[in-house]
Amino acid sequence: QVQLQESGPGLVKPSETLSLTCTVSGGFITNYYWSWIRQPPGKKLEYIGYIYYSGSTNYNPSLKSRVTISVDTSQNQFSLKLNSVTAADTAVYYCARLTPLAPVGNDHYHSFDIWGQGTMVTVSS
Amino acid sequence: DIVMTQSPLSLPVTPGEPASISCRSSQSLLYSSGYYFLDWYLQKPGQSPQLLIYLVSNRASGVPDRFSGSGSGTEFTLKISRVEAEDVGVYYCMQALQAPRTFGQGTKVEIE
């Protein structure tokens, strides 16, 4: 059974870089898309971006200038870096797997079917 | 971005009774092949979200058949035929038609 586990600092200073890693266990990172999603306190979920195991990425335009998602297939991990953080970046950060669940035309429909437990990151001096 | 609007935001329910949550999108979620790109997720207290329904009406693996989804265009509904105590939490709809994927504000379901 595939499981995801986020890790990284729980406190980041304003203007610095938030760095998180998601470790995939119970399965391989290959052949899937891997995502980051966050949830500020009391607010709704926000999609950050995803990476394919081969390295291609897609980012939310609202965060694109500050976000980098990378993958390390040898470690079965993928990572998130968000630079120049402010208090508005305080949130629970989730990693999730985007899985092809159904054929749609010449492609497949993907949903977030496996999530990590989430990690709270606070931006404060 | 496509804006997702859910109603109600809070839903007191009685075990054994049905419940329904609505989700409206700011534009049609119709994909060219005739599918509507919408998911439903449930975030139980203290847990991460879990996939309930994909492509409007398909239950994810392990999801009880008391959950059903329907809708088209910009109007979608999640129904629970008979609510159980374990169904409490916050339900989110999410559109997958257009990047970036966007979520509704959430509907908090709690036992009356």
DSSP class per residue in B17-84: S-EEEEEEESS--B-TTS-B-EEEEEE-TTS--EEEEETTTEEPTT--TTEEEEEETTEEEEEESS--
What DSSP element (H or E) covers A17?
none
Does A117 contact B at CB distance below 8 Å?
yes
Chain CA centroid to CA B110, Å? 15
Q: Given CB atoms, is B5 within the 8 Å cutoff of chain A?
A: no
Judging contacts by C-beta atoms under 8 Å, the chain A residues touching residue B36 are none
Q: What is the pLDDT of residue A105?
A: 86
The answer to whether the Cβ–Cβ distance between A101 and B103 falls below 8 Å is no
Please judge whether B103 and A61 are an interchain contact, meaning their C-beta atoms are less than 8 angstroms apart.
no
Q: What is the pLDDT of residues A38-68, one digit of tens each?
A: 999 999 999 999 999 999 999 999 999 999 9
Q: Is A57 on the interface with B (CB under 8 A)?
A: no
pLDDT of residue B75: 98
Contact B51 A113 (CB under 8 A): yes
Distance CA B16, CA B61 (A): 23
B93: pLDDT confidence band, cut at 50, 70 and 90? very high
- Whether residue B4 is predicted with pLDDT greater than 90 in this model: the reply is yes
**pLDDT for A98-124, tens place per residue?**
999 999 988 899 999 999 999 999 999
- Cβ partners under 8 Å of residue A106, min gap 6: none
Predicted local distance difference test score (pLDDT) of residue A7: 97
What pLDDT, in 10s, does the model give residues A89-100? 999 999 999 999
Does pLDDT of B33 surpass 80? no
Q: Note whether A116 and A36 are within 8 A (CB).
A: no
- Are residues A62 and B48, on separate chains, in Cβ contact within 8 Å? no
- Using the beta-carbon criterion (under 8 Å), do A46 and B48 form an inter-chain contact? no
Give the DSSP letter string of A38-84.
EE-TTS--EEEEEEETTS-EEE-TTTTTTEEEEEETTTTEEEEEE-S
Identify all chain B residues contacting A112, using CB atoms and an 8 Å cutoff: 39, 41, 49, 51
A42 CB within 8 Å of a chain B CB: no
Size of interface A-B (CB pairs under 8 A): 61
pLDDT in tens, B5-25: 999 999 999 999 999 999 999
pLDDT of B34 higher than 90: no
**B1-36 burial code (b ≥16 CB/10 A, e <16):** ebebebeeeebebeeeeebebbbbbeeebebeeebb
